[in-house]
């Protein structure tokens, strides 16, 4: 793709686009939630042809006409969103921080996450949402924590200080607590 096209896409994203991360309930997922990544471009339905052109350039996503004579072109999924963000990254101006943070979030998904790491990533997703003009966010990291705790997936961390406290206990007390 030519740099001029990448710059145009970046300008469109800066002006009439958004980068979105959502926590979506999924009962079939081990951690109970999916982190969905999306890039959206918005335009008056009168100018839907411009969105069709964007879709042709990027080769993924879907266009839908919304109420109020607006249309949107939406790209969903980690690999497609990451590819789009990497294409526009050198050219974005207003959404530079969002693109950088989004790519940072996505890089954390390269490895298998523990329940604690998934919760931390959900908290990062919550923080990312403050960069957008979100109207209704119902599911947040608190919901994820509640689910993970309910399933016993989050365990308290034993710290060095706790081990030192055990050494200070009387040997008689320790012996009674350690015998089966």
Domain count, the chain: 1
Q: Which residue has the higher pLDDT, 155 or 9?
A: 9
Q: What is the pTM of this model?
A: 0.79
Q: What percent of the chain has pLDDT over 70?
A: 84
Task: List the domain range (segments joined by +) for residue 8.
Answer: 3-178
Q: What's the angle, vertex CA 61, arms to CA 85 and CA 90, rounded to 5? A: 15
Per-residue pLDDT at 130: 83
Q: Is 17 a catalytic residue?
A: no
Query: Which one from 11, 14, 16, 126 is the annotated catalytic residue?
Result: 16
Quick: pLDDT tens for 101-154: 999 999 887 678 899 999 999 999 998 888 887 667 788 999 999 999 988 888
Q: Which two tokens stand for residue 179?
A: 């015998």
Query: Is 3 among the residues known to form the active site?
Result: no
Query: Can you tell me the distance from the alpha carbon of 160 to that of 140, in angstroms, rounded to the nearest whole number?
Result: 31
CATH number of the domain that 19 lies in? 3.10.28.10
Residues 6+ apart with CB under 8 A from 156: none
């Amino acid at each position: 793709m030519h740099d001029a096209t990448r710059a145009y896409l970046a300008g469109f994203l800066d002006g009439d686009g958004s980068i979105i991360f959502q926590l979506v309930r999924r009962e079939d997922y081990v951690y109970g939630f999916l982190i969905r990544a999306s890039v959206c471009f918005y335009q008056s339905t009168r100018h839907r042809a411009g969105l069709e052109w964007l879709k042709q350039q990027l080769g993924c996503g879907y266009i839908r006409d919304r109420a109020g004579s607006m249309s949107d072109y939406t790209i969903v999924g980690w690999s497609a969103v990451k590819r789009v963000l990497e294409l526009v990254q050198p050219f974005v101006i207003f959404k530079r921080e969002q693109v950088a943070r989004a790519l940072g979030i996505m890089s954390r998904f390269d490895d298998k996450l523990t329940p604690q790491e998934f919760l931390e990533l959900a908290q990062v997703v919550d923080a990312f949402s403050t960069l957008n003009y979100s109207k209704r966010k119902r599911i947040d990291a608190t919901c994820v924590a509640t689910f993970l705790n309910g399933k016993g997936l989050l365990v308290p961390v034993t710290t060095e200080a706790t081990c030192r406290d055990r050494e200070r206990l009387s040997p008689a007390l320790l012996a009674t607590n350690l015998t089966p």
